Amino acid sequence: MSEIVVTLPDGTELPVEEGATVEDVAYEIGPGLGADTVAGVVDGELVDKASPVRDGATVVIVTDQSDEYLDVLRHSAAHVFAQALQRLYPEAKLAIGPPTDEGFYYDVTGVELDQEDLAEIEDEMESIVEEDLEIERELLSREEALEKYEDNPYKRDILENEAADEDPVSFFVQGEFEDLCKGPHVESTGEIGAVELLNISSAYWRGDEDNETLTRVYGTAFESESDLDRFLERREEAKERDHRKIGSEMDLFSIPEVTGPGLPLYHPNGKRILNELSDYAESLNLDADYEPVETPHLFRTELWKQSGHYDNYVDDMFLLDVNDEEYGLKPMNCPGHATIFDQHSWSYRDLPVRYFEDGKVYRKEQRGELSGLSRVWSFTIDDGHLFCRPEQIEQEIRQVMDSIFEVLETFGLDAHVALATRPEKSVGSDEIWGQAETQLRSVLENQNIDYDLEPGDGAFYGPKIDFSFEDALGRHWDGPTVQVDFNMPERFDLTYTGEDNEEHRPVMIHRALYGSYERFFMVLVEHFNGKFPYWLAPEQVRILPISDDQLGYAHRVKNELGDFRVEVEDRSWTLGRKIREAQEDRVPYMIIVGGDEEEAGTVSVRDRKEREEQDVSVEEFRSHLESEYEEKRIEPDFLDE
């Protein structure tokens, strides 16, 4: 039998027999690893251990000690839910039930469920776990599978689409229950240490509003009860930190029905924060020699056809007819920037050319996918595009990375970094892809940045480095990105004159330091629990006169503090109530003024950590505010000095 070669995580190449499975690869590495194998990751995709590997594939073996094991466990828990549901409600029809970042869900129909029903289903799930049923993979012919699901249009849809080229197709069986599935799964239901059903919602089949509405049941699973308890504690804290809840409490934004779905309104407090974020991003861009540009919200669709976005995004675009011409709200800013570059003649000496824009874009997400500010129809990208020679890619990527890490440090955020390489469908030569991937990897390794490799997950136009923010609760959110693009310069016929006086094609680099303002705003609200750093807070200082007699002095102090965002509490409340209100409003600093302070021309300063210092001169406090603002410190620290 002929051999193929697979690559292991450390770069080692391992020859195995053609047709070898993930489990076979594990046994080739060592019998202990083979016995412990639960699943595999082949070219970035989590697969069952019985899945065959292909020549040239990168293979990672998954055991119960691997990070991916929890996904496998939760996938099995989804099957346990489906089995429990059908024991209790035999009429229920199953659609699809994948693992998620926080657990799993299963879409079902044919049964009426509400939140009160979950406890009974959960009890049945625990019984199935206690039964310790072996989970076995079985193969059926396509004809047998279609016959089995004669009355289930959802499973037939899967067979006719995702599994269209498979014959036989795989099922997983546990006790009396079987389900169409590629896997992977744990060995038995008894390996699931703890399960909990969380909530019910509705969902469209395939996420398409034109399809049937299904019932979606969310749950989670862990190896132990203690892990589940920690998750539930974090989940409760996440509810308290929910940006929609805090946004209402602090009057930051709203998304009323009257505006339309996914179209947020920013109130004065929210806009103050956005202005600070924009000013900060602009300062980073100007320091890095980017030039500001602005593009309209609307373009003729000829532009989107030229860029290739029309073919890829037309279903997500807002289109309208104007005088028998089709226009579209822009889903991206890059074609506009490429068009600006194309309006000039460039020499190799001029490159790199760098543009930036806080560009509003529009994408028609399915209504069921909209969620607060994390996914909206209208959002703003702190977009940057630069045009450079191929040999300049590395230095430009390094500069972008420096800016991204400055953002992370400024906001006290950690990030997960991934290098996404060439997908199967792509444009550009092997040579330039190899050069770009090497340059991206070189930047990451030279700066000692830990990163994951995501083979085949790059954009069709080039490789990229993606960042995901990790917030105070350990959750990850998509954030900054750096993408190398060979496609757009080709489509727009962008050129520069080289040292040889010949025309050459520039490379286009896309980058965003935040990702989008909306999602970054959401991350900051929840990360800081609304307790924004002083420089970012919508209200930075609140002056609390002990009585109405000090209102005049309070306003004089406000005037002396200049342009900072300072308010005077002029309601006739007790001092205690004024302090509590400022604490609840998450104001970084409170200034207390009474008769003694007015007579001495001083103030008492209190922070939201309930620390206080008396007899502070207004000039001293103002000087501190100026330095704290300029240095963009994360925590108010006047009382640390």
Tell me the chain's radius of gyration from C-alpha atoms: 29
Rounded distance between C-alpha atoms, residue 72 and residue 38, angstroms: 8
Tokens of 227: 């892990």
Q: What is the overall mean pLDDT for the chain?
A: 92
* Residue 403 scores a pLDDT above 90: yes
* Residue 499 scores a pLDDT above 60: yes
Q: Are 56 and 6 in contact (CB under 8 A)?
A: yes
Whether 257 maps to a domain, the answer reads no
Q: Are 14 and 61 in contact (CB under 8 A)?
A: no
The H or E element that residue 590 is part of is strand 589-593
Asked if 13 and 145 sit in the same domain, the reply is no
Asked if 598 and 623 sit in the same domain, the reply is yes
Asked if 83 and 230 sit in the same domain, the reply is yes
Asked if 416 and 435 sit in the same domain, the reply is yes
- The residue-averaged pLDDT of 513-539 equals 94
For residue 576, name the pLDDT band (cuts at 50, 70, 90).
Answer: very high
- The count of structural domains within the chain is 4
Mind listing the pLDDT tens digit for each residue in 47-90? 999 999 999 999 999 999 999 999 999 999 999 999 999 999 99
Q: What is the span of the domain harbouring residue 195?
A: 69-237
Give the end of a domain, one of 221, 237, 253.
237
Whether 96 maps to a domain, the answer reads yes
Amino acid at 175: G
Q: Are 543 and 554 in contact (CB under 8 A)?
A: yes
Rounded distance between C-alpha atoms, residue 622 and residue 603, angstroms: 11
Looking at residue 472, what is its pLDDT?
A: 74
Asked if 413 and 482 sit in the same domain, the reply is yes
Residue 181 marked in a binding site: no
Residue 624 marked in a binding site: no
Residues with Cβ within 8 Å of 538's Cβ and at least 6 positions away in sequence, in order, are 250, 252, 268, 269, 270, 272, 273, 532, 565
For residue 635, name the pLDDT band (cuts at 50, 70, 90).
Answer: confident
Asked if 277 and 396 sit in the same domain, the reply is yes
Q: Are 142 and 159 in contact (CB under 8 A)?
A: yes
Q: What are phi and psi of 486, to 5 degrees?
A: -100, -10
Whether 558 maps to a domain, the answer reads yes
Amino acid at 606: R
Greater pLDDT, 266 or 488: 266
Asked if 622 and 487 sit in the same domain, the reply is no
Measured between its terminal Cα atoms, the distance across the chain in Å is: 74
Percent of the chain at pLDDT exceeding 70: 100
Q: Are 554 and 568 in contact (CB under 8 A)?
A: yes
The verdict on whether omega for the bond into residue 168 sits within 30 degrees of 0, i.e. cis, is yes
Residue 41: beta bridge partners?
Answer: 46, 60
3-state secondary structure of 113: coil
Asked if 225 and 277 sit in the same domain, the reply is no
Residue 508: beta bridge partners?
Answer: 387, 485
Rounded distance between C-alpha atoms, residue 71 and residue 184, angstroms: 9
DSSP per-residue letters across 73-84:
HHHHHHHHHHHH
Rounded distance between C-alpha atoms, residue 522 and residue 520, angstroms: 5
Asked if 188 and 277 sit in the same domain, the reply is no
Asked if 418 and 274 sit in the same domain, the reply is yes
Rounded distance between C-alpha atoms, residue 41 and residue 440, angstroms: 23
Q: Are 145 and 180 in contact (CB under 8 A)?
A: yes
Tokens of 219: 């749950």
- The residue-averaged pLDDT of 377-399 equals 94
- The residue-averaged pLDDT of 369-388 equals 91
Whether 545 maps to a domain, the answer reads yes
Rounded distance between C-alpha atoms, residue 560 and residue 566, angstroms: 10
CB atoms within 10 A of CB 506: 25
For residue 435, name the pLDDT band (cuts at 50, 70, 90).
Answer: confident
Looking at residue 478, what is its pLDDT?
A: 85
Asked if 566 and 430 sit in the same domain, the reply is no
Exposure on the CB side of residue 238, measured as CA atoms within 13 A: 14
Each residue of 263-300: b (16+ CB within 10 Å) or e?
Answer: ebebeebbebbbebbbebbeebbeebebeebebeeebe
Tokens 């019910």 correspond to: 200
Looking at residue 641, what is its pLDDT?
A: 57
Q: Are 557 and 592 in contact (CB under 8 A)?
A: no
Tokens of 248: 């209402």
Whether 194 maps to a domain, the answer reads yes
Whether 247 maps to a domain, the answer reads no
Q: Are 328 and 298 in contact (CB under 8 A)?
A: yes
* Residue 474 scores a pLDDT above 80: no
* Residue 347 scores a pLDDT above 90: yes
Looking at residue 21, what is its pLDDT?
A: 95
Whether 534 maps to a domain, the answer reads no
Whether 532 maps to a domain, the answer reads no
* Residue 374 scores a pLDDT above 70: yes
Q: What are phi and psi of 113, to 5 degrees?
A: -125, 145
Looking at residue 316, what is its pLDDT?
A: 85
Q: How far is CA 146 from the centre of its chain?
A: 37
3-state secondary structure of 344: coil
CATH of the domain at 106: 3.30.980.10
- The residue-averaged pLDDT of 486-494 equals 91
- The residue-averaged pLDDT of 281-305 equals 95
CATH of the domain at 569: 3.40.50.800
Mind listing the pLDDT tens digit for each residue in 22-35? 999 999 999 999 99
Q: Are 128 and 236 in contact (CB under 8 A)?
A: no
Rounded distance between C-alpha atoms, residue 396 and residue 406, angstroms: 16
Residues with Cβ within 8 Å of 497's Cβ and at least 6 positions away in sequence, in order, are 345, 346, 347, 348, 503, 504
Give 224's DSSP letter.
S
CATH of the domain at 28: 3.10.20.30
pTM of the model: 0.82
Tokens of 126: 């625990």
Asked if 357 and 495 sit in the same domain, the reply is yes
Rounded distance between C-alpha atoms, residue 574 and residue 577, angstroms: 5
Q: How far is CA 529 from the centre of its chain?
A: 18
Q: How far is CA 251 from the centre of its chain?
A: 24
Give 229's DSSP letter.
H
27 burial (CB, 10 Å; 0-12 / 13-18 / 19+) is: middle
Rounded distance between C-alpha atoms, residue 405 and residue 53, angstroms: 37
